[in-house]
Structure 1
């Protein structure tokens, strides 16, 4: 019996030895990303880092629900009362490698800070799922920069940028505070922020059911070394228009709604 089985075992062993090493393949792909190479491009020695600009995007929870097609899905935790992070997005990137997964242990040390400054505002989306989505869609593309070449480093950089661009304090110091009744002019808000965010930042709005232009996001263009003022319009690409917001119209009144935790879908009726 053993004599008849032995050739079969030897054949199976030889077959297994010929299979590619999955872990080695994954590691090779990760290394390609760390060095700015992607898939077949790695073999051609072409650089993956074709983007020149990043967009650091902050969102205002008081208007977030207005940006959703299904507003009933929105939920703002009681602890959230300030501008939160939406993402850090390389511009002119059309797809990222799916080879670099993210696990909760990758950002465990940052968990408390991320929940405070980068929470999910959707009822059916845990915060970690939001972070993982942002990493897989945008973070992996940014990972060819040494300071962001891991989930931990990417999210750590985002938290540092959130601290650097404390736009809520800038606005409060200038008397720009949330209100249901007091509209602002776009130019006066831009003047408050321009000296800190550069003149290339974009203030985005959503239009509420009553036709009001409601302040939703701020997009801050950054270069590879995270300095302000990168010429993002020259890059174009889907990263710039990856949300429901639109540039606030210069002539229309701009509303900066307060946060309403009980009725986040209709903070001002």
Structure 2
């Protein structure tokens, strides 16, 4: 009996802190251990601080002309219109890249996404393109309730694509793809402004003949998805420069046809 009591006392001595140890622990700063509100505020000051989105559509006819020569460009026969490039929160940093995207997440949208949001790079599957856009931009938008899941984000992009049917608007304004008929920026803006507002950006790239090819259109949206939003200061933008540049106002602009057989040289 005496032996077991001695063992119990030894064990208690091993786990019960001494007065000196308790003094040391009490002197440590534990002020942030339960400061969840502070953490949430810090998070919102980074990736959730954005106010503007850019819904970006791209023209397949010009896309392949700027690709690196090593990348094989493929435009599927069923693609004959403007397609989605992405929906991008502006000036959103430190977004969480841990929200993975799986094919099953988009299974119900797969057919429509394949038509409206295809990849033109042979080495990058459609799903790989969607996954890249989700991890780069979608997770930044996910702090807004209407965008807080992959299905909501991609569904909204498809709805915006239907809302901003620039293919039909351009056709009604007699702006059609051509290798011979150039347009002025003012002509394009006059046709597009009633549909996508005044603050859009028409982007061009140069081909090997130094012609300005219409490549993309960026449609600014506010956080509540209304048209128009203050443009961020270009000097404050981070990351690599965009592939395109604002189309010049005085230089002829070409909306080249989509060439499924030879997408890199739509006009020969």
Indicate the TM-score class for this superposition, using the shorter chain for normalisation: 0.7 to 0.9
Deviations 1:229-256 (A, max 9, x none): 11123585248x7631100011000000
Matches within 5 A, 1:1-269: 41-42=39-40, 44=42, 46-47=44-45, 48-70=47-69, 72-234=71-233, 236-238=236-238, 243-269=242-268
Whether the 8 Å contact between 1:72 and 1:265 is mirrored in structure 2 is no
Q: CA RMSD in A?
A: 2.0
Which whole-Å CA distance do the structure 1 matches of 2:94 and 2:66 have between them?
Answer: 24
Whether the 8 Å contact between 1:71 and 1:265 is mirrored in structure 2 is no
Give secondary structure in 2 for the equivalent of 1:58.
strand
Which whole-Å CA distance do the structure 2 matches of 1:65 and 1:215 have between them?
Answer: 12
102-111 vs 61-70, which deviates more? 61-70
Which whole-Å CA distance do the structure 2 matches of 1:122 and 1:143 have between them?
Answer: 27
- Cα distance, 1:200–1:193 mapped onto 2, change above 3 Å: same
Whether the 8 Å contact between 2:71 and 2:121 is mirrored in structure 1 is no
- Cα distance, 1:119–1:45 mapped onto 2, change above 3 Å: closer
With normalisation by structure 1, the TM-score equals 0.81
Give secondary structure in 1 for the equivalent of 2:232.
helix
Which whole-Å CA distance do the structure 2 matches of 1:205 and 1:251 have between them?
Answer: 13
Q: How many residues align?
A: 231
Q: Tell me by how many angstroms 1:49 deviates.
A: 1.5
- Cα distance, 1:213–1:99 mapped onto 2, change above 3 Å: same
Whether the 8 Å contact between 2:90 and 2:232 is mirrored in structure 1 is no
Q: Tell me by how many angstroms 1:93 deviates.
A: 1.8
Deviations 1:120-155 (A, max 9, x none): 110100000000000000000000010000000000
Query: Quick check: which has more Rg, 1 or 2?
Result: 2
- Cα distance, 1:111–1:213 mapped onto 2, change above 3 Å: same
Q: Tell me by how many angstroms 1:98 deviates.
A: 1.5
Whether the 8 Å contact between 2:55 and 2:221 is mirrored in structure 1 is yes
Give secondary structure in 2 for the equivalent of 1:73.
coil
Which whole-Å CA distance do the structure 2 matches of 1:44 and 1:259 have between them?
Answer: 46
Q: What residue ranges of structure 2 are gaps of 5+ in the alignment? A: 1-35
- Cα distance, 1:145–1:183 mapped onto 2, change above 3 Å: same
User: Which residue pairs with 2:7 in the alignment?
Assistant: none
- Cα distance, 1:230–1:46 mapped onto 2, change above 3 Å: closer
Which whole-Å CA distance do the structure 1 matches of 2:80 and 2:160 have between them?
Answer: 18
